[in-house]
Amino acid sequence: MNDLIIQNISELILPKKTDKPLKGAELADLKIIKNGTVVIKDGKIVYAGEYNDEYVATETIDAQGKTVSPALVDAHTHIVHGGSREHEMSLKRQGVSYLEILEQGGGIHSTVKATREATEEELFEKAEYELLRMIHHGVLSVESKSGYGLSLEHELKQLRVSKKLHEKYGINMKHTYLGPHAVPKDKDSDAFIKECINDLEQVKGLADFADIFCETGVFTIDQSREYMKAAKKLGMPVKIHADEIDPLGGLELAIEEDAISADHLVAASEKGKQMLNDSDTVAVLLPGTTFYLDKNEYADARGMLNNNGAIAIATDYNPGSCVTSNLQMVMSIAALKLKLSPKEIWNAVTVNAAKAIGLDAGTINTGDEANLVIWHAKNHEYVPYHYGVNHAEKVIHKGKVIVENEFKLK
């Protein structure tokens, strides 16, 4: 006997199961079944496709008027951190730029102070609340970075919190060491990169990836290359915050070093975009950050796709440059500002986002873990269209309904 049937689904979103990320025109290749059925047993998908009434199960959900998709994948977050930086909003309004705030000891540095001062328990409690918010918004795979410790002791503290969340909730999580996220105020940048390289050995048991912020006034291309090579030598796949503000050639470096992803890329060069053609490095675009930094230029998603690149979309949830953990909101920004179609966006937040963090997730195929969302939306176009709110009605993890978002008054 099966455990659950979801029947009469208005639109069933079925991203393609693939070993490699979807590239270029493939990003628009998304199967959508009208009047679909999903059958689940022992936490796994038994059937997903056209309407089928031959199966029996102990429970049936009628999803008439609803859309069903794989649970979302948030491939770039800084969920574990101390404190908050709401005062930076008025600084920004006075015209102080993100990098100026950082130079003045604010920005990342003020979160470093708060993170160092917080106990492991305090960090856990804060990150847990946000993780639960993500799950309530339909996300069941999360990448989580360190990077607000800037010393081995505090980076390890962040990574342990991330692991504990993973253990407690059992959703898919990947943990990233981002030791070189900023140069500590009292240190020289070359000396600090060496320190981070030395620390790789000790963080590698807790981290799946090594990441670095390559940017003007932060870390150079040469420092980033040295760090990435050292991480790869230890068997750690690499990621890079690249070309977010200035076009330093971070995308080119990511591709040369075979990074699993290159993230941000607002200022990526034409050469870098062309190099995507021969690469499986996923360009993780973070349009919520461009929006929140109040910039007019967004990453050139269409140019990357025209060059046969693989792209994914993520929140970049962090306390400074993108203070939202609502990936649905970022899907809307992607539609408006990256000029992506709804089909491209669904692939970019499911199967391609999973590839950007080395996960086999984001699909609903026979044998897959049953991680799904039933959306209060009659079709796949509705979610990015109706922006800024939560459309996730039921979130299903390993075949069990773990979230029911209902409008009910006490």
Ligand X SMILES: N=CN[C@@H](CCC(=O)O)C(=O)O
Q: Residue positions in the annotated binding site for Fe(3+)? A: 76, 78, 241, 316
* Percentage helix, strand, coil for the chain under 3-state DSSP, each rounded to 5: 35, 25, 40
CA distances in angstroms from 35 to 63, 259, 372, 382, 399, listed in the order given: 9, 40, 16, 17, 20
**Closest distance between ligand X and the C-beta of residue 184, in Å?**
14
**Closest distance between ligand X and the C-beta of residue 173, in Å?**
18
The residue with its CB nearest to ligand X is 320
**Closest distance between ligand X and the C-beta of residue 26, in Å?**
27
Nearest to ligand X of 246, 256 (CB atom): 246
Q: Per CB under 6 A, does 244 bind ligand X?
A: yes
Q: Per CB under 6 A, does 15 bind ligand X?
A: no
**Closest distance between ligand X and the C-beta of residue 72, in Å?**
19
Q: Per CB under 6 A, does 239 bind ligand X?
A: no
Residue 102's CB is within 10 A of a number of other CB atoms, namely: 19
Sheet strand arrangement including 139-145: 72-74, 139-145, 172-177, 209-210
Q: Per CB under 6 A, does 289 bind ligand X?
A: yes
Nearest to ligand X of 181, 376 (CB atom): 181
Q: CB–CB of 184/116 below 8 Å?
A: no
Nearest to ligand X of 208, 316 (CB atom): 316
Read off the tokens for 278.
């021969």
Q: Rounded to whole angstroms, how far apart are CA atoms 177 and 203? A: 7
What residues have CB less than 8 Å from 223, skipping those under 6 apart?
A: 180, 189, 190, 193, 212, 214
Q: CB–CB of 361/172 below 8 Å?
A: yes
Q: Per CB under 6 A, does 321 bind ligand X?
A: yes
Binding residues for 4-imidazolone-5-propanoate: 85, 148, 181, 244, 321
Sole residue written with tokens 């050639």: 249
Q: Rounded to whole angstroms, how far apart are CA atoms 97 and 177? A: 26
Nearest to ligand X of 82, 107 (CB atom): 107
Q: Rounded to whole angstroms, how far apart are CA atoms 12 and 14? A: 6
On the 0-12 / 13-18 / 19+ scale of CB atoms within 10 A, 62 is exposed
**Closest distance between ligand X and the C-beta of residue 235, in Å?**
25
Nearest to ligand X of 67, 77 (CB atom): 77
Indicate the residue type of 276.
L
State how far Cα 138 lies from the chain centre: 13
What residues have CB less than 8 Å from 19, skipping those under 6 apart?
A: none
**Closest distance between ligand X and the C-beta of residue 252, in Å?**
18
**Closest distance between ligand X and the C-beta of residue 289, in Å?**
5
Binding mask 196-215 for ligand X (x = CB under 6 A): -----------------x--
Read off the tokens for 145.
């970075």
Q: Per CB under 6 A, does 107 bind ligand X?
A: yes
Of 12-20, 106-114, 153-161, 189-197: span binding ligand X (CB under 6 A): 106-114
Q: Which of 69, 77, 111, 141 is close enough to bind ligand X by CB under 6 A? A: 111
Q: Per CB under 6 A, does 320 bind ligand X?
A: yes
**Closest distance between ligand X and the C-beta of residue 322, in Å?**
6
Nearest to ligand X of 203, 392 (CB atom): 203
Q: Which of 143, 155, 243, 316 is close enough to bind ligand X by CB under 6 A? A: 316
* DSSP conformation class of 386: S
**Closest distance between ligand X and the C-beta of residue 245, in Å?**
8
Q: Rounded to whole angstroms, how far apart are CA atoms 297 and 131? A: 30
Nearest to ligand X of 12, 313 (CB atom): 313
Q: Per CB under 6 A, does 319 bind ligand X?
A: yes
Nearest to ligand X of 288, 362 (CB atom): 288
Q: Per CB under 6 A, does 219 bind ligand X?
A: no
* DSSP conformation class of 97: -
**H helix runs in 118-249, sequence order:** 120-136, 152-169, 189-203, 221-233
Nearest to ligand X of 66, 78 (CB atom): 78
Q: CB–CB of 283/266 below 8 Å?
A: no
Q: Per CB under 6 A, does 143 bind ligand X?
A: no
Contacting residues toward ligand X, per CB under 6 A: 78, 107-108, 111, 213, 241, 244, 289, 316, 318-321
